[in-house]
Amino acid sequence: MTINNAKIAAVFEEIADILELQGANAFRVRAYRNAARVVRAFAPDIAELLASGQTLPKLPGIGEDLATKIAEIAGTGQSAQLQRLRGKVPEGLPELLTISGLGPKRVARLWHELGIQTLTELRQAARSGRIRTLEGFGGRTEERLLQAVDQLLHTSQRRPLGRVAPVAEHLLDLLREVPGVLEAVIAGSFRRGRDTVGDLDILVSARAGCPAIPRFTATPEVATVLSAGTTRASVLLHSGLQVDLRLLRPASWGAGLVYLTGSKAHTIELRRMAQDQGLKISEYGVYRGRQRIAGATEESVYQTLDLPWIPPELREAQGEIAAAAAGKLPKLVELDDLRGDLHAHTYASDGQNSLEEMAAAARDAGLQYLAITDRTWSASVARGLDADALARQIDQIDALNAHLTGITLLKGVEVEILEDGSLDLPDSLLARLDLVVGAVHSAFALAKKQQTQRLLRALEHPHFSILAHPGARLLGERPPIEYDFAAVLEAARQRGCALEVNAQPERLDLDDVHCRAARDAGVAIAICSGARSVDDFACLRFGVGQARRGWVEAADVLNTRPLAKLRRMLKR
């Protein structure tokens, strides 16, 4: 952990805050705040200074006691005093200090007089009108606190793209039914296909007098209207998700869509290019002087810069503008390019449907083949396959394929990669399968070297086909495991194994950066649903979006192949 002066100062600020919450002596509180100010302004890096064997020089207001605490923080990254103080106040109380307008004294009053200890409790108290009953607060203060806490709760939580999508698309459907609405699109990070979404930006092209904003703010999903004007509105939904609506005239539609889709870095590059040509790009159009020369469509905006239209998923200032200028943009994979799905479960393990039901649902989703990859018994699931159960399922799939039409089931399994890198089924049984999907479902905290060796040994197995959700992450719940991705990627390339993009909303793993690295290394990518029910094939679009963000083309994806070619590749 890197400890700089700012971090040492932050520790002293938090100590001062908690002491003030406790009603400690004002001189003691002031001493810590002064120490924070002095440390922050001190030019040499204290941690580096002490690590080199030098002593801390005499600093104004810093006595022996505080100097010892500085050395402790600089050396360990921890403060024993701060840990003790945190244990003496409710866990959520210091977070209230991040709310604008709430200092330690006011937070202490909310705590002692109303029993408020968390942001959620503060929001509930503000909504019920309890805060205005405190002397010195009042109705306007209560309203400002409610808006501030709603905003903080919103910005502190990004949500998986796939979980936000149904809400977003429902709002779009409602808006498209409003008289005068010509077009409605969700812009921002949602349109760029980021794996998590902080808020939603909806852009609407509408005729004059269109009642889109009052209709939008009156929808049952809206809990709080933060603002509403003639061309903009901002609301909080009951889920806490913030949604911003913007109305644009048709002549500015394309420019607004480019601007509000972002990313910020992408649009900055576009504006810089425009300036070099004597042009100005804004959300209202492309201008030469006062004359608007483009803006009705996104294509027209890019054309003024001699660029082709750039897919939203690529707009991250990661070389897409240079590639566009050179005519080297990739032809990104599309959902319709997928011919099959190579990772799905039935109720034999942790799924909800039978073999027949999953086959029919995959066929209805437009797929030509589906790999059944139920989990093994040691994968920490309630029902997993042992060797005997998998052998029976192999026979069932063979029998079912004899009379299925329009879809072929492939025989597979999702084996657990054990801590030592071995697989939890015998080779003789794995040899009977069309493919073997391997995954980590345990021992997530292994050291990076050990975790890497675990994966490398699994990839060496002669029957190993696909490394599923390689990072083993759960968005918002569990970070990815630590491993040497470059080493794993090279091993997959040498062995001819594929890396999965798992399309489940809580996974979307590989991430976009690793997708691009795999594509550049020539390692095949498998875009899979990880389906546990007949409804989960709809998640494939999110996996495709993740792959598109990684510049992946159809030829880079294993399951865009016809079945006969796929079988040859899996055997090889």
Give, in words, the CATH class of 252-325: alpha beta
Tens of pLDDT, residues 473-528:
988 778 899 999 999 999 999 999 999 999 999 999 999 999 999 999 999 999 99
Q: Name, of 112-121, 380-389, 495-504, the range with top average pLDDT.
A: 495-504
Answer whether 1-89 and 96-150 agree in fold.
yes
Q: Before 100, cis peptide (omega within 30)? A: no
The pLDDT value given to residue 1: 44
The pLDDT value given to residue 250: 95
Contact predicate 341/362, CB 8 Å = yes
d(CA 350, CA 533): 9
What one-letter code names the amino acid at 509? Answer: D
Give, in words, the CATH class of 1-89: mainly alpha
- Sorted by where each begins, the domain ranges of the chain are 1-89, 96-150, 159-248, 252-325, 335-571
d(CA 33, CA 343): 56
pLDDT above 60: residue 213: yes
For tokens 């269109």, name the residue. 210
CATH topology of domain 335-571: TIM Barrel (3.20.20)
Tens of pLDDT, residues 240-267:
788 999 999 999 999 999 999 999 999 9
The whole model's pTM is what? Answer: 0.74
Tens of pLDDT, residues 396-412:
999 999 999 999 999 99
> Percent of the chain beyond pLDDT 90?
68
Q: What is the DSSP letter of 526?
A: E
- Closest by alpha carbon to 429, among 461, 382, 466, 476? 461
Q: Give all strands of the β-sheet with 291-294 in edge-to-edge order.
A: 280-282, 285-288, 291-294
Q: What is the DSSP letter of 478?
A: B
Confidence of residue 448 (pLDDT cuts 50, 70, 90): very high
Kindly report the CA angle at 310 between 304 and 314, in degrees rounded to 5? 140
| CATH code that applies to domain 159-248 | 3.30.460.10
Mean pLDDT of the chain, nearest integer: 91
For tokens 């990839």, name the residue. 459
Output the six-digit token pair for 375: 């989990």
| Over residues 447-456, mean pLDDT | 96
CA 222 to chain centre: 24
| CATH code that applies to domain 96-150 | 1.10.150.20
pLDDT above 90: residue 354: yes
Question: Could you give the angle at which helices 485-495 and 448-459 cross, rounded to 10 degrees?
Answer: 10
How many C-beta atoms surround the C-beta of residue 486 within 10 A?
11
Tens of pLDDT, residues 265-321:
999 999 999 999 999 999 999 999 999 999 999 999 999 999 999 999 999 999 999
Q: What is the DSSP letter of 412?
A: E
The pLDDT value given to residue 226: 86
The pLDDT value given to residue 216: 96
